[in-house]
Amino acid sequence: MAEDKWSYVCSQTQYLYTLIIALFMALLLTLFALFFGEPGTMSYTIAIFDLVLVVVAFGITTLVYRKCLQREDVTVG
């Protein structure tokens, strides 16, 4: 059952890579907002919250992508 889930997720590897690129761009934009934002403002607080969300999503997506690449190496080799 778990193997079926990984097979489905890993069949979407091209979309995972696109999501990683999009999250990386969101991370850069968030860091830009934090760099030029004024601490204590509402937009700065939102940027910090956004930073946490983007970093977590980026980390999870990257781990899933790497797991899928490892699975491909095992099945090919």
What's the pLDDT score for residue 71?
83
53-77 average pLDDT score: 87
pLDDT digits (tens, 9 = 90+) for 3-56: 788 888 888 888 999 999 999 999 999 999 999 999 999 999 999 999 999 999
What's the pLDDT score for residue 77?
55
More confident residue, 39 or 72: 39
What's the pLDDT score for residue 52?
97
> The pTM is what?
0.81
What's the pLDDT score for residue 28?
96
Give dist(CA 50, CA 31) in Å, integer.
Answer: 10
Give dist(CA 55, CA 67) in Å, integer.
Answer: 18
Helices 42-76, 2-10: axis angle to 10 degrees equals: 110
